[in-house]
Structure 1
Amino acid sequence: MTIGPKEGWQVYSSAQDADGRCICTVVAPEQNLCSRDAKGRQLRQLLEKVQNMTQSIEVLNLRTQRDFQYVMKMENQMKGLRTKFRQIEDDRKTVMARNFQELKEKMDELQPLIPVLEQYKTDAQLISSFKEEIRNLSVVLAAIQEEMGAYDYDELYQRVLRLDNRLRNCMGKLTCGKLMKITGPVTIKTSGMRFGAWMTDPQASQRNNRVWYMDSYTNNKIVHEYKTMDDFVANTVSRTYNLPFKWEGTGHVVYNGSLYYNKYQSNIIVKYSFETGRVLAQRALEYTGFHNTYPYSWGGYSDIDVMTDELGMWLVYATNQNAGNIVIAQMDPDTLEVQKTWNTEYSKRNAGESFMICGTLYITNSHQTGAKVYYSYSTKTSSYEYTDIPFHNQYFHISMLDYNARERALYAWNNGHQVLYNVTLFHVIKTEDDS
């Protein structure tokens, strides 16, 4: 027989023998017993809480990830703002520094004009005194004419003419003098290679302000022309010339409408007319070193230097006969014939650059920083002296330095910059009455 289970239990399975007797009975709790059990309820509640917490954690995780991305985005924006603020601050300082630098450069450009204006003021006072003397003499003439005859008037009139001629001669002499000071430079333009030459024509009229530009010291034969200095600064080329021969060095000049230069790999001077586009003359300089035999200290095939001043055209070079020292030659600008030479004792290779003013050659001791006019040779007295006239080598390497008598200025090519220096001359004026 099957044994009846106790309360709360039920028969799960039973086994009987062949006679129907109960051998084993398996009982189990009733199906609904665990659902009513207190511990079962707690377990179910805990399970629900765990599920709720899992969902909450997932929501919190999603929210945290979203907030983290937002924070990262804000951090990047803050970094960008800090960079912009820093850039704005740096730009402000840069703009202020640039503005101050521009003001300083303008002041520096005006500064060299002061001694020039003072010199002109002195010259003007001297000329005014001559004019006052003429006016006074004219008044006396008028009074004497009334009292004396026409013959005496003519004689006095001739005296007036002689005085007027003296005045004009004096005005002509004011353009000459001894170099006392170099001021500047004023940077006109920055262009071209490290070496080159630029110039105006000292023989041109005041209305003719053409500028010529020759880039590099060799392997080139292109010359650019500009109508005015403003066009030169703006790089507005008016004409371009293709020379028949390449040039060598940077010692070129334009004089009375023609270009004078050293022909490439030779000791030949060429005169080229801008008006006709033809070579007007050529002449070889006998015994003259060329192609870096006796250059200036910076090299660049600067063996032969053509120059002009108030007295005409000059050549500066060196020869073996003068032991490599500088030779000065006065040259006829029409025929290129050498009229007279002077041998100096200054080594061409030790000179930085040189230029002529009023028949005197001035030589710098270097082409680099710290250079000064160290030596001068007067062709009038055939004598030399050591000088100490400093000038500011702003860009550290001068490869061309040439005097323009009309402008009373030095044209220079300084490390790819085209600059101008003003010069102050000491005038010694002699009249016919001086011994």
Structure 2
Amino acid sequence: MGSQLFTLGAVLSTMAIISNWMSQTLPSLVGLNTTRIPTSNSLTQISPREGWQVYSSAQDPDGRCICTVVAPEQNLCSRDAKSKQLRQLLEKVQNMSQSIEVLNLRTQRDFQYVQKMENQMKGLKAKFRQIEEDRKTQLTRHFQDLKEKMDELLPLIPVLEQYKTDARLITQFKEEIRNLTGILTTIQQEIGAFDYEDLHQRVLGLETRLRECMKKLTCGKLMKITGPVTVKASGPRFGAWMTDPTASEKNNRVWYMEGFTINKVVREYKSMSDFITGAESRTYTLPVKWAGTSHLVYNGSLFFNKYQSNIIIKYSFGTGKVLAQRSLDNAGFNNVYPYTWGGHSDIDLMADEFGLWAVYATNQNAGNIVISQLRQDTLEVLKTWTTGYPKRSAGESFMICGTLYVTNSHLTGAKVHYSYSTKYSSYEYTDIPFHNQYFHISMLDYNARDRALYAWNNGHQVLFNVTLFHIIKTDDEM
């Protein structure tokens, strides 16, 4: 390949394109399609009265285009129609001149590109010559270069695939946003269709109806236990935590008691959130040690079993004094009749919708569970029921609406296995499972205000939700 021949051919090709464009396009631009354009350097003689005449040529020594314009005589009437046409023709000529200048710049740029290509061709020719001289060595090196470049490009493949995936995700997100926007627009239109006062009155009416319905809800039968919800992980394996079921909705104080013997310190937290963060508000030191984990906070006082005795103590948080104490006749204590996990859990104090209760066992009842309802002020026993369920076979127990529910174990797989109704003095075997998430329950008590079970599960404080079957009172029964 001859580089000089290549260069000359490129230049002549470019000039031919320009000349062809001028010969075909310029006459139509200036309105001279019917005018014959001379093909040589000489100009055809025409009368100046015939109007503007334009001629072009590519005969410049540097290869540039030449444009020649012959103007009409100046004494033509400038107001006639032909004068207007001539002015328009002049504007076209000016535009054409600009186009020719642009072509000139492109021609120069192409010429520079051709020169650059010529130099590159020379370099390639030298490289081919060098390859021919030492073909094996050069081929090996060049192939190695190509391989390295391919190795550099290979990691881009998964990147490009990721771009494709991202592009699809973006498209999907856009579609979802469009759908959501449509839904929100529809909702907004629907909301806007109602008057605000009308909506407000509807809400108030609904709240009133809900309150009336809640008043009709009486005690129900336990149907299901769900959860748990882990509130916090703190303390040893055994302990108790609770809230006051008689407190107002704004009073959410939490009490926390670690261990089942020896300890006398009760920690208080102003709210559940403070309990979670560990922000204590106050501590109380009891006058005596407690036994077990079945303590109870009720109406602002703490009820607990005195260590190594069957004595129940009522302690006031407000005054810091013991308000009442009484022994449960014949009640076993000191790990004689505990739950299956032990821990001096002989006497279990609890509360439900009907008040204060004590669950324990006696020798007279052959170690089976005894239920006693207590007066909260004096701790006097109001009434007692005896059951046939062995206390030492129970994992834990709790009262809901006057019915005692007993679990069959404190370990994994535990379920509510037995229930005893104090209203009908009858029992039944049940099969209500619940999830013992941390494998060892040492405290399980029902809170009537929260309608939830509080549990100490192997150093975790958890809550279980309960589902009750309710009987709705009629208006005549209320």
TM-score (norm 1): 0.61
Report if aligned partners of 1:318, 1:325 keep a CA contact under 8 Å in 2. Answer: yes
1:380 is matched with which residue?
A: 423
What secondary structure does 2:382 align onto?
Answer: strand
**Identity over aligned residues, as a percent?**
75
Pick the aligned partner of 2:243 from 200, 209, 217.
Answer: 200
Work out the CA distance in 2 between the residues paired with 1:432 and 1:208.
Answer: 32
Pick the aligned partner of 1:351 from 386, 394, 401.
Answer: 394
Q: Which runs of 5+ in 1 are unaligned?
A: 1-126, 133-166
One-letter amino acid of the structure 1 residue matched with residue 438 of structure 2? Y
Are 2:448 and 1:405 equivalent residues in the alignment? yes
Are 2:301 and 1:258 equivalent residues in the alignment? yes
Work out the CA distance in 2 between the residues paired with 1:226 and 1:260.
Answer: 18
Pick the aligned partner of 1:287 from 327, 330, 338.
Answer: 330
- CA offsets per residue over residues 327-384 of structure 1, 9 Å max, x none? 0000000010000000010000000000000000000000000000000000000000
TM-aligned CA deviation for residue 431 of structure 1: 2.4
TM-aligned CA deviation for residue 172 of structure 1: 3.5
What secondary structure does 2:246 align onto?
Answer: coil
1:9 is matched with which residue?
A: none
Any residues of structure 2 matched to 1:188-337 within 5 Å, and which?
188-337=231-380
What secondary structure does 1:349 align onto?
Answer: helix
Work out the CA distance in 1 between the residues paired with 2:294 and 2:240.
Answer: 8
What secondary structure does 2:437 align onto?
Answer: coil
Work out the CA distance in 2 between the residues paired with 1:255 and 1:427.
Answer: 25
Work out the CA distance in 1 between the residues paired with 2:246 and 2:335.
Answer: 31
TM-aligned CA deviation for residue 171 of structure 1: 3.2
One-letter amino acid of the structure 2 residue matched with residue 315 of structure 1? A
Report if aligned partners of 1:297, 1:366 keep a CA contact under 8 Å in 2. Answer: yes
1:390 is matched with which residue?
A: 433
Report if aligned partners of 1:225, 1:237 keep a CA contact under 8 Å in 2. Answer: yes
- CA offsets per residue over residues 65-95 of structure 1, 9 Å max, x none? xxxxxxxxxxxxxxxxxxxxxxxxxxxxxxx
- CA offsets per residue over residues 205-228 of structure 1, 9 Å max, x none? 011000000000000000000001
Q: Which runs of 5+ in 2 are unaligned?
A: 1-204
Work out the CA distance in 2 between the residues paired with 1:307 and 1:256.
Answer: 13
2:156 is matched with which residue?
A: none
Work out the CA distance in 1 between the residues paired with 2:215 and 2:427.
Answer: 25
Work out the CA distance in 1 between the residues paired with 2:271 and 2:306.
Answer: 27
Report if aligned partners of 1:268, 1:282 keep a CA contact under 8 Å in 2. Answer: yes
Work out the CA distance in 2 between the residues paired with 1:128 and 1:423.
Answer: 25
What secondary structure does 1:288 align onto?
Answer: coil
TM-aligned CA deviation for residue 130 of structure 1: 9.0
2:385 is matched with which residue?
A: 342
After the TM superposition, list the runs of 4 or more consecutive aligned residues in structure 1 that deviate by more than 6 angstroms.
Answer: none
TM-aligned CA deviation for residue 282 of structure 1: 0.3
Any residues of structure 2 matched to 1:165-180 within 5 Å, and which?
171-174=214-217, 176-180=219-223
TM-aligned CA deviation for residue 176 of structure 1: 1.9
Work out the CA distance in 2 between the residues paired with 1:317 and 1:174.
Answer: 30
Work out the CA distance in 1 between the residues paired with 2:241 and 2:206.
Answer: 36
Work out the CA distance in 1 between the residues paired with 2:244 and 2:476.
Answer: 36
TM-score (norm 2): 0.56
- Cα 1:343–1:128 shift into 2, 3 Å: farther
- Cα 1:379–1:173 shift into 2, 3 Å: farther
Work out the CA distance in 1 between the residues paired with 2:233 and 2:468.
Answer: 28
One-letter amino acid of the structure 2 residue matched with residue 260 of structure 1? F
- CA offsets per residue over residues 237-277 of structure 1, 9 Å max, x none? 10000000100000101000000000010000000000000
Work out the CA distance in 2 between the residues paired with 1:333 and 1:241.
Answer: 21
TM-aligned CA deviation for residue 131 of structure 1: 4.5
- CA offsets per residue over residues 125-165 of structure 1, 9 Å max, x none? xx969949xxxxxxxxxxxxxxxxxxxxxxxxxxxxxxxxx
Report if aligned partners of 1:175, 1:310 keep a CA contact under 8 Å in 2. Answer: no
What secondary structure does 1:232 align onto?
Answer: helix
TM-aligned CA deviation for residue 174 of structure 1: 1.6
Work out the CA distance in 1 between the residues paired with 2:441 and 2:357.
Answer: 21
One-letter amino acid of the structure 2 residue matched with residue 228 of structure 1? S
Any residues of structure 2 matched to 1:38-49 within 5 Å, and which?
none
Question: CA-atom RMSD, angstroms?
Answer: 2.0
One-letter amino acid of the structure 1 residue matched with residue 249 of structure 2? Q
Work out the CA distance in 2 between the residues paired with 1:264 and 1:282.
Answer: 13
Report if aligned partners of 2:356, 2:374 keep a CA contact under 8 Å in 1. Answer: yes
Work out the CA distance in 2 between the residues paired with 1:383 and 1:363.
Answer: 14
